[in-house]
Structure 1
Amino acid sequence: MKRIIVLIAIFSGLFFTSSCENELDLNNPNAVTVDQYWKTESDAQAGVNSIYAMFYKDGLWARWIYFRLDLTSDEGFSNSPWTELADWTRFNYINYNFWEGQVVTWRDTYKAVFRCNQVLANVPNITFQNEDDKKKIIAQAKFFRALHYYYAAILWENIPIVLEPSTPADLPAQKNVTEVFAQVEKDLNEAFADLPSSWSADQTGRPDKGAAKAFLAKVYMQQHKWAEAKTALEYLISGPGAKYNLVANYRDNFTDVNENNKESVFEIQFGDQKSGGTDEGQSAAVSSNRAQFFAPRGIGWSDGQARFWLVNAFKQEKNKDGNLDTRLRYTLYYPQLQADFGDKVYGKNWEWGNDEAWFRKGSRDYYRNNEDYYSQVNYRLVRYADILLRYAEVLNETGNTADAYQYVDLVRARVNMNTLAAAHPEIGNDHDKFLERLKTERVLELAGESVRWEDLKRWGDLNTQASVDKIALRDPDFKNFVVGKNQRLPIPQVEVQNNPNLKQHAEY
């Protein structure tokens, strides 16, 4: 049975917001103050649990971050009648204070960082019966501070690094993205030292050493630190953390039926036991809204769609039995889905345009006919298939192309595809050809899983007009992309106006 960590958000009045005015910084006589809190082990545990609660906020993994990571990439787009929302997935940034486009994600990112900093500043002063328990709490806070700064760096790049509990009067300095990544590395390495190799069943959902190494690999790869990334990935593949494997059924990664399985390196725990909003109240939801916003017309809001080139990419190669790649079936909705695989999604036949596609991962058509705001399907933020493909990429980048094939083949074998060498003998040991094919392999395995934007940035595909023009052939929104500008978001203008130490990116 799925286990949900019960999260208690107790710091609703203590969030970092640079735009707060001093005269609004009032004391609530009925609230527990910081000085009164942070006395016991239970205070510390509730404090770290409040960090997990940030996954359920609409600026982060409950809703809007998917628009930035999935729809802005060449895998997706928005055709929403809400024009400003759609414009923010096609690089038409006009109102830098657009709430849903970015301001709420910035806010919730720094709220999450603030909660981490509260734990890191106060828990060391609490006496524990078992010092290892204290170390685990501190390690979790470092892991999550790193996680949130990692995604902030992917989106905005040059941002403030806040490492102490904030006050409304603080004016944090802006740092270069290299400094942000360095802080992410530091936090993850320190977290790794004190996180356990695994947690007991009643603590499912907390990060372990493997999760720390996985995010270290990600941040190293974004900086092309291939040797360091190789070492981090080897911990998961052949080292002390080699406890992962691919599940036999590919779809088990995208439903609530077989969550926290052997393929999961780190996943966000969602539940449908509360039907509130995304506020700080006791009834606040712990659910995902993604399926509601990405569902086909007539099922959900349909504000996010998949690009149809993905369907064609899956159909370029048949499996060993001469049939279509089964990953297509569970990755996308598209007009020929029933003809290709016999699936009647959501229990009905739906009419779509011939060139329309929708993301299927995380949807609940396997047991219901519609979506809502309370999806309980966990989000696999990192799974082992991604680790294997990353390792293949690192080997290719370090001159070991021949050795990289086997890790791609493990992923292909799960869905009965031929070996990469048999299917594409033209690659040989050519670095560039292998990388180009690996870009496709990652799409076939990971489409719609919020990794494509960082992939495009890591590969340098957003750095030249020629490479952007190639992307635009499959995603017309990239005709709006300005090289040297749109690889990062503008900083919310309200933050720039309220903090003289924060400068808007020059290109904006």
Structure 2
Amino acid sequence: MKKFIAISAVICSLVTFNACNKEELEINNPNALTTDQYWATPDDAEKGVNSIYAMFYKDGLWARWIYFRLDLASDEGFSKSPWVELADWTRFKYVNYNFWEGNSVTWRDSYKAIFRANQVLANVPDITFEDESRKNSIIAEAKFLRAFHYFYLVELWENIPLILEPSTPQDLPLQSNKEEVYAQIEMDLNDAFNDLPATWDASDVGRPTKGAAKAMLAKLYMQDHDYTQAKAALEYLITGSGAMYSLVDNFQDNFTHLNENNEESVFEIQYGDQRLGGTGEGAAASVSSTRAQFFAPRGIGWSDGQARWWIVDLFKEEANQNGGIDERLQYSLFYPDLEADFGLQTYGRSWEWNADEAWFKKGSRDYYRNNEDYYNEVNYRLIRYADILLMYAEALNELDMTADAYAYVDMVRARANMAPLATAYPAIGNDHDMFLERLKKERVLELCGESVRYLDLKRWGAFDSQSAIDEIITRDSDFENFVVGKTNILPIPQAEVENNPNFEQNPGY
């Protein structure tokens, strides 16, 4: 049975407030712990670090709204939600910068996670442990998770406060630029790597490992176009001492609850359906994902997010080695001809779609039930070994090692019974640009709907010129609203700008 990290809400709000500088008004609640009272034992430290993981299950992050940015605002997805403001935030129409679901809640929840990590990092070093290695690994977990949340913050907003100590309501932090935040992320991940284990016992599966730290470093270096460093980080997982990963035989095993934390998983969020509360801080708060409910076809879920049809066409451009359709399509997307294309028995569902509509399928539960809800228990594989192999191929190509890159793309293609790349596309040869253009398609075929495409486009410079945007528009008409130099990053929530004189709104807003 799947093991879950115990979640504690004890320290969610351990902040000392000062009111009017009048000591007589500073009354401690005898029924609530203060920070000074709390951080005393190893058990406090365990609960403290576990509270950071609890943020994965909040609305602004990986329970719901972050997918609207990473998947629907890329050229893979879009929204036709009747909630017009929500749909507008996937098509770059930003009017109300305080729009909660599209902007403010992800900012808030990211900094809540960072606040919790900062508390661990500030207080755990002073706690006495019998097992010093566990103390060090708790600190390493907090550094990994702080780096993780800063990575997505800086990619989405860029000019953000870099807060490294427990914050108080009176703080007015300064903004940092992308390079400063990148440097801190790199430092945290390197520190975390030193003290994280290579693997965890079954009861602690889901915590980051050395491999996860190297994978996040690789993602950081790739976004920073530091391909030499990315290559070195990726080699730890592919040929180095961390080479314990491999592709599972069955592609679908990456998207169900039946074979989780398998050999392909580098880092995944542990979801479950055992608690049916909301997404607040109570003891019954859910540890589930609502993504499938919001992205499911009409009649099954809310259908607030859909996949672009060009992805279906891409899957059908090249036949597999048996002359059939790339089998990854049946596990990646819902679309009208799904059953006919793959000889499937009827799903027995009341689909409500048009001939050219598609939906993201990964992580849905169609393999054993007829509907979705807010308590999806399928773990979200944030980093898969297939992604590692394709990033490594990209790094090699950028370092003029194109001939060496083929093998790593072919490993991914072989699982899907696709011919070797050189056989299918001999004209590419060692041409850097042609290889990269093909690799861009390979990443869609393998990773579509897995929240990587937005960052891929950003890394490839697709947001940097009007000519590049015009090319995207041929696949995604929402990019007609994209403004180069502006909408490549989000507006900072306006309330943050107005409440902090040290903040400036992002350029163009």
User: Smaller-chain TM-score range?
Assistant: over 0.9
Q: 1:2 to 1:265 in 2, by over 3 A?
A: same
Query: Residue 58 of structure 1 aligns with which residue?
Result: 59
- 1:16–1:110: 8 Å Cα contact kept in structure 2? no
Helix, strand or coil: the match of 1:267? strand
Query: Residue 430 of structure 2 aligns with which residue?
Result: 429
Helix, strand or coil: the match of 2:30? coil
Q: Which residue identity is paired with 2:242? A: G
Q: Which residue identity is paired with 2:147? A: A
Counterpart Cα distance in 2 of 1:205 and 1:384: 16
Task: Deviation per CA, 1:167-191: give whole Å up to 9, x if none.
Answer: 0000110000111111100000000
Query: Residue 339 of structure 2 aligns with which residue?
Result: 338
Helix, strand or coil: the match of 1:399? coil
- 1:344 Cα deviation after fit: 5.3
Between 1:281-290 and 1:3-12, the stretch displaced more is: 3-12
- 1:11 Cα deviation after fit: 2.2
Query: Residue 178 of structure 1 aligns with which residue?
Result: 179
Please report the TM-score for the alignment, with normalisation by the length of structure 2: 0.97
Please report the TM-score for the alignment, with normalisation by the length of structure 1: 0.97
Counterpart Cα distance in 2 of 1:59 and 1:253: 24
Matches for 1:277-426 after TM superposition, within 5 Å? 277-343=278-344, 346-348=347-349, 350-426=351-427
- 1:13 Cα deviation after fit: 2.2
- 1:14 Cα deviation after fit: 3.7
Task: Deviation per CA, 1:229-262: give whole Å up to 9, x if none.
Answer: 0000000000000000000000000000000000
Query: Residue 4 of structure 1 aligns with which residue?
Result: 4
- 2:297–2:352: 8 Å Cα contact kept in structure 1? no
- 1:341 Cα deviation after fit: 1.1
Query: Residue 190 of structure 2 aligns with which residue?
Result: 189
- 2:264–2:386: 8 Å Cα contact kept in structure 1? yes
Q: Which residue identity is paired with 1:13? A: S
- 1:21–1:168: 8 Å Cα contact kept in structure 2? no
Q: Which residue identity is paired with 2:161? A: P
Q: Which residue identity is paired with 2:488? A: Q
Instruction: Find out whether 1:114 has 2:112 as its counterpart.
Output: no
Q: 1:214 to 1:16 in 2, by over 3 A?
A: farther
Point out where structure 1 has 5 or more consecutive residues left out of the alignment: none
Query: Residue 488 of structure 1 aligns with which residue?
Result: 489
Matches for 1:94-243 after TM superposition, within 5 Å? 94-243=95-244
Q: 1:21 to 1:465 in 2, by over 3 A?
A: farther
Counterpart Cα distance in 1 of 2:68 and 2:259: 26
- 2:15–2:35: 8 Å Cα contact kept in structure 1? no
Query: Residue 272 of structure 2 aligns with which residue?
Result: 271
Counterpart Cα distance in 1 of 2:56 and 2:217: 20
Counterpart Cα distance in 2 of 1:197 and 1:177: 30
Task: Deviation per CA, 1:310-361: give whole Å up to 9, x if none.
Answer: 0000000000000000000000000111110133575325242111000000
Counterpart Cα distance in 1 of 2:353 and 2:302: 15
Query: Residue 461 of structure 2 aligns with which residue?
Result: 460
Counterpart Cα distance in 2 of 1:468 and 1:451: 18
- 1:285 Cα deviation after fit: 0.3
- 2:64–2:291: 8 Å Cα contact kept in structure 1? yes
- 1:480 Cα deviation after fit: 0.6
Q: Which residue identity is paired with 2:353? A: W
Helix, strand or coil: the match of 1:71? coil
Counterpart Cα distance in 1 of 2:45 and 2:311: 46
- 1:467 Cα deviation after fit: 0.7
Helix, strand or coil: the match of 1:403? helix
- 1:335–1:351: 8 Å Cα contact kept in structure 2? no
Q: Which residue identity is paired with 1:149? A: Y
Q: 1:359 to 1:465 in 2, by over 3 A?
A: same
Q: Alignment identity in percent? A: 68
Query: Residue 500 of structure 1 aligns with which residue?
Result: 501
C-alpha RMSD over aligned residues: 1.7
Counterpart Cα distance in 2 of 1:8 and 1:290: 24
Helix, strand or coil: the match of 2:464? coil
Query: Residue 88 of structure 1 aligns with which residue?
Result: 89
Helix, strand or coil: the match of 1:380? strand
Counterpart Cα distance in 1 of 2:366 and 2:337: 17
Q: 1:15 to 1:304 in 2, by over 3 A?
A: farther
Between 1:83-92 and 1:23-32, the stretch displaced more is: 23-32
- 1:373 Cα deviation after fit: 0.2
Counterpart Cα distance in 2 of 1:238 and 1:248: 20
Counterpart Cα distance in 2 of 1:161 and 1:381: 24
Instruction: Find out whether 1:39 has 2:15 as its counterpart.
Output: no
Counterpart Cα distance in 2 of 1:148 and 1:130: 28
Q: 1:92 to 1:28 in 2, by over 3 A?
A: farther
Q: Which residue identity is paired with 2:444? A: V
- 2:12–2:51: 8 Å Cα contact kept in structure 1? no
Helix, strand or coil: the match of 2:426? coil
Task: Deviation per CA, 1:18-57: give whole Å up to 9, x if none.
Answer: xx99999985432110010110000000100000000000
Counterpart Cα distance in 2 of 1:59 and 1:116: 17
- 2:299–2:352: 8 Å Cα contact kept in structure 1? no
Q: 1:237 to 1:22 in 2, by over 3 A?
A: farther
Counterpart Cα distance in 2 of 1:333 and 1:223: 34
- 1:9 Cα deviation after fit: 2.1
Counterpart Cα distance in 1 of 2:16 and 2:487: 27
- 1:345–1:365: 8 Å Cα contact kept in structure 2? no
Counterpart Cα distance in 1 of 2:226 and 2:21: 43
Helix, strand or coil: the match of 1:326? coil
Counterpart Cα distance in 1 of 2:472 and 2:15: 39
- 2:485–2:507: 8 Å Cα contact kept in structure 1? no
- 2:14–2:33: 8 Å Cα contact kept in structure 1? no
- 1:346–1:370: 8 Å Cα contact kept in structure 2? no
- 1:5 Cα deviation after fit: 1.5
Counterpart Cα distance in 1 of 2:27 and 2:355: 57
Helix, strand or coil: the match of 1:382? strand
Counterpart Cα distance in 1 of 2:26 and 2:251: 51
Counterpart Cα distance in 1 of 2:341 and 2:27: 62
Q: Which residue identity is paired with 1:69? A: L
Counterpart Cα distance in 2 of 1:369 and 1:15: 45
User: Size of the alignment, in residue pairs?
Assistant: 506
